[in-house]
Amino acid sequence: MRISRLVPALAATALAVLGLAPTAMAQTAAQPAPAPAVAQGTSAQPIIGGGYASNAPWAARLFSNGRQTCTATIIAPTWILTAKHCVSGGGLSFRIGSLDQTTGGTTANGVSVHNHSSDLSLVKLDRSVSATYATLGRPGSVQVGQSVQVYGWGATSQCGSEINCQSRLLKVANVTVTGGCTDAYQGQAICARRGNGITAGGDSGGPMMAGGVQVGVASTSDRQTTTAYTNVTAYRSWIQSIAGV
């Protein structure tokens, strides 16, 4: 399964990568799409369903060449964690620690990218950012049947071109873990079924939080019932070898 590198949209019978449409755009190709422009206003419901987040100091909006593309988290003073399908466009920049992707928080640029064979990427920032960093989970941090939270600034509906219905404010939804699966690059992933919402294009790269720790990175979604998050707990040694956390 894939979340259209929550960038472009999915093939009709498979999970699309979430980028902008990864957990993120709704199209028919399973490849990352260009980042969309933020929709004006916030009257539409976030993610698809769900609600607006009230506290997520570790959240980061990812822009590629100035265009909104994906979601991410800051995990250390100079390190961002996101989906691999989100970083191929280059010109990476981030707004960190603000619920509003257009203002507030701290901005920083990416200076180097480290990709895993799965749908994970670590981006080094051009400056040290003081923030509340996401705590990463370890094996056993999440269980089948557990209700977990997913976050993102992605599409709020299946609106055709998901770049036209991105959320200005960070969204959150509850989903229920159904078991292990694979991400957009056949890496180890955590699959979940829709709770009060589901991920869509632009949510790619965003976190799955279980008990306050990050256990996944948004990779794919069918925008209706199922989403797949690359399993952060399975790749902790790789993350630690690069980012030191």
Whether residue 166 contacts residue 154, with contact meaning beta carbons closer than 8 Å, is answered with: yes
For tokens 């790789």, name the residue. Answer: 238
Q: How much is the average pLDDT of 113-134? A: 98
Which pLDDT value is given to residue 29?
26
pLDDT tier, 159 (very low <50, low <70, confident <90, very high otherwise)? confident
Percent of the chain that is helix, strand, coil (3-state, to 5): 10, 40, 50
Distance from the Cα of residue 137 to its chain's centroid: 16
Separation CA 57–CA 77 (nearest Å): 13
Q: Report, at the CATH architecture level, how domain 57-125 is classified.
A: Beta Barrel (2.40)
Q: Are 201 and 21 in contact (CB under 8 A)?
A: yes
Does residue 81 or residue 162 have the better pLDDT? 81
Strands 106-115, 92-96: pairing is antiparallel
For the chain, the C-alpha Rg in angstroms (whole number) is: 15
For residue 223, the model assigns a pLDDT of 92
Q: What is the pTM of this model?
A: 0.85
50-107: pLDDT as tens digits = 999 999 999 999 999 999 999 999 999 999 999 999 999 999 999 999 999 999 999 9
Segment 198-226 shows an average pLDDT of 96
- What does the alpha-carbon distance between residue 241 and residue 245 come to, in Å, rounded to a whole number? 8
* Residue 108 to residue 218: CA distance in whole angstroms: 22
Q: Please, which pLDDT band fits residue 160 given cuts at 50, 70 and 90?
A: confident
Residue 109 has pLDDT above 70, yes or no: yes
